[in-house]
Amino acid sequence: MAVSGSPVGGSTPPPPPPPPQEQANKLGFTKPISLAGPTTADLHRNAELEKFLVDSGLYESNEESASRQEVLRRLDQIVKSWVKLLTRQRGYTDQMVEDANAVIFTFGSYRLGVHGPGVDIDTLCIGPSYVNREDFFIILHNILAEMEEVTELQPVPDAHVPVMKFKFQGISIDLLYASISILVVPEELDISDGSILHDVDEQTVRSLNGCRVADQILKLVPNVEHFRTTLRCLKFWAKRRGVYSNVTGFLGGVNWAILVARVCQFYPNAIPSMLVSRFFRVYSQWRWPNPVMLCSIEENEPYLPIWDPRRNPRDRFHLMPIITPAYPCMNSSYNVSTSTLRVMMEQFQHGNKICDEIELNKSQWSALFKPYVFFEAYKNYLQVDIVALDADDLLLWRGWVESRLRQLTLKIERDTHGMLQCHPYPHEYADASKPCPHSAFFMGLQRKEGVRGQEGQQFDIRGTVDEFRQEISMYVYWKPGMEIYVSHVRRKQLPAFVFPDGYKRTRMPRHMSHAAEKTRECTTKCYSGSSSSERCIKRKNSHEMVDVKPDKPEKRTSVSPQRLECVSPESCTSKLDGTPQISIECIEGVRPDGSTTKDADRNCEIKSSHRLLGSDTIIEVGDMQINETCFVDSTHDRLKSRDLEVQNEVSLLNQWKNLPLGS
């Protein structure tokens, strides 16, 4: 369906973009890397890619598209009636009641036109100055709660961007609210006008900028349809490879959109099959923390805080800056940590390798989207179990815990001085056999590559886990029955519910110690609390030190980044006195092809600051290059045809000395 940036009530499709050749010198703040168009082989690969996306079910049906439009129309009617009701109750004139209005905008994947079947719709309600956020979370919430069409209503007023989540006629909605400084909201409100940001608080600015950023991205790409297909493809890849989650410390929808848009600017005449390949070629070589920006960062009225490492010391330590194109320009990827950046760089390198093979006709597109086998990639995991009395409580409690898991990653990095690396996995699991609602998240754990540990060396993160649990317990909406348990599990001891169809390796090595087996023995207790309700508590024998012997290196068939494996933490998961000691022993790692290695030379080491700023420059990029020649083709003609593109790219990127922060 056509997606518009105008309000739901009167949407008109945006005008078609100019031809790519015409836009080549207009988009972005640097010249394109290459103006080359597709070859016959590129067109063939593009047809195969689009067929793969369709066969993978990434496009919604016409019926679902019509259902979404109907839900948005109904939601628009509801918020209009809500504002008129408040206007009348507050004693405004009949004319004011008649003129009172609110409008619904879409943003995110729906606005960008890359949403798939079953995904939620990101929406923004804009209302007048006298209808505030409290009215939204109380009065409108109560109106929605009484409607039969609305289910799973979940207000999150304390979020970084306050949101109300619910399902309307089975379609998931994330609804934000922005009260702007005018009395009557026009039906054809221009949300891109900077004056809309006057006299509003920071939360309102963040709410408004979702729509403003989406519109700017669409304006800054040379070919919207090519951008959409490429973005749809990369989002699917990121989910398959376990790196799609802003809350966990990876990248979310807007981050991926900006990264893809920048590649579209680099190669304005490329088609999606070319853009996917160039995406991995560019970002597998990108020198973070150099920022990805679609346009210059400008300072306008009102003078709102923007991402500027010259003035804001905190901005200098962002590891993977991806800057939003709408004023006020901010870093959309501030959640990224050293560990998650390492994981993403490994996945970019893996994707680049597969795309090279596809261009050589040695592989198919399906190989690029092969799911990452997380539970074969590490030998040690941290398991976070979340339980509550009922499904509604679990929905709230799980959301809170998930939003704080990134802090656990950061604390482990801090307390082990970066020696123990975490790989948080953004997928949620549930044990249906438990008598109470349950959810679980996992983190892979390993010693930092290139660092040799002595046999028996231990990492004690008991205090780290206790600190995390204490912070989690400060949840203002906590209820009896909401509990969290953190435990260490080895790969051989992973619960069956994390495997497809409950599959689990049943054969255990003979040399596995009796003590290691006992660490997974647990009982499930349900007891009555003050609320006379049953609480499900998973208790473990966690009072003893876990002494794990190094396993014999195994060859694996999964495709996963090379890493040095190690034994890692065990933490308390019960309310028994004492917490186990945590041990870690360095053993061999695994390359992406499944072979074992002890060589850490190929490790992608990410440093956090590098003194990003000089005294006389804004941001030093130095001799950053996107090396097109790293791809070796056995066909002489193909190499010859690439020479001009390679030379053009290297010469342009060598000129990047100062990235502009201002116009």
Between 460 and 127, the more confident residue is: 127
Query: What three-state secondary structure class fits 77?
Result: helix
* Residue 109 annotated in active site: yes
Per-residue pLDDT at 305? 87
Cα separation, 377 vs 592, in Å, equals 10
Q: Tell me phi and psi for residue 532, to 5 degrees.
A: 60, 25
218 has pLDDT over 60: yes
Cα separation, 498 vs 490, in Å, equals 13
pTM for the structure as a whole: 0.77
Catalytic residue among 6, 109, 179, 337: 109
Cα separation, 66 vs 1, in Å, equals 9
Cα separation, 540 vs 528, in Å, equals 20
pLDDT range class, residue 459, cuts 50, 70, 90: confident
7 has pLDDT over 50: yes
Catalytic residue among 42, 135, 174, 315: 174
pLDDT range class, residue 638, cuts 50, 70, 90: very low
Annotated binding site for ATP: 107-109, 120-122, 174, 235, 244, 253-254
Per-residue pLDDT at 514? 38
Per-residue pLDDT at 235? 98
- Sign of the torsion angle spanned by Cα atoms 239, 242, 244, 248: positive
Interval 233-240 mean pLDDT: 98
Mean pLDDT of the chain: 78
Between 255 and 613, the more confident residue is: 255
Token pair in block for residue 110: 């729906």
Per-residue pLDDT at 8? 57
Q: Do the Cβ atoms of 413 and 350 come closer than 8 Å?
A: no
Q: Which CATH class is domain 375-597?
A: alpha beta
* Residue 26 annotated in active site: no
Per-residue pLDDT at 650? 42
- Convert the pLDDT of each residue in 527-546 to its tens digit: 333 333 333 433 333 332 33
* % residues pLDDT > 90 (the chain): 61
Q: Do the Cβ atoms of 587 and 565 come closer than 8 Å?
A: yes
Q: Please list the residue range(s) of the chain that carry CATH number 3.30.70.590.
A: 375-597
Cα separation, 455 vs 584, in Å, equals 8
Please give, one letter per residue, the 3-state secondary structure of 462-490.
HHHHHHHHHHHCCCCCCCCCCEEEEEEEE
- Convert the pLDDT of each residue in 557-611 to its tens digit: 332 233 323 323 333 333 323 333 334 333 233 333 433 333 333 333 222 233 2
pLDDT range class, residue 398, cuts 50, 70, 90: very high
Q: Do the Cβ atoms of 254 and 108 come closer than 8 Å?
A: yes
Per-residue pLDDT at 464? 94
Q: Please list the residue range(s) of the chain that carry CATH number 3.30.460.10.
A: 62-214
Say which range, 11-15, 424-428, 624-628, has the weakest mean pLDDT. Answer: 11-15
Per-residue pLDDT at 457? 64
CA dihedral of 444, 449, 455, 459, whole degrees rounded to 10? -50
Catalytic residue among 120, 308, 392, 633: 120
Interval 44-48 mean pLDDT: 98
pLDDT range class, residue 639, cuts 50, 70, 90: very low
Among 449, 459, 405, 443, which Cα is nearest to 561's?
449
Between 519 and 282, the more confident residue is: 282
Per-residue pLDDT at 288? 96
Q: Which CATH class is domain 62-214?
A: alpha beta
Level-2 CATH architecture, domain 24-58+222-369: Orthogonal Bundle (1.10)
- Convert the pLDDT of each residue in 403-440 to its tens digit: 899 999 999 999 998 899 999 999 999 998 888 999 99
* Residue 530 annotated in active site: no
Among 374, 368, 497, 390, which Cα is nearest to 435's?
390
Catalytic residue among 235, 353, 538, 540: 235
Interval 369-383 mean pLDDT: 95
* Residue 122 annotated in active site: yes
Catalytic residue among 110, 244, 267, 327: 244
Please, how many CA atoms are within 13 Å of residue 639, restricted to the half-sphere of its CB?
A: 8
Q: Please list the residue range(s) of the chain that carry CATH number 1.10.1410.10.
A: 24-58+222-369
Annotated binding site for Mg(2+): 120, 122, 174
Say which range, 57-71, 144-158, 332-346, 500-514, has the weakest mean pLDDT. Answer: 500-514
- Convert the pLDDT of each residue in 462-492 to its tens digit: 899 999 999 999 998 899 999 999 999 999 9
628 has pLDDT over 70: no
Annotated binding site: 107-109, 120-122, 174, 235, 244, 253-254
The segment with the largest mean pLDDT, out of 5-14, 20-29, 590-599, 636-645, is 20-29
Interval 143-153 mean pLDDT: 95
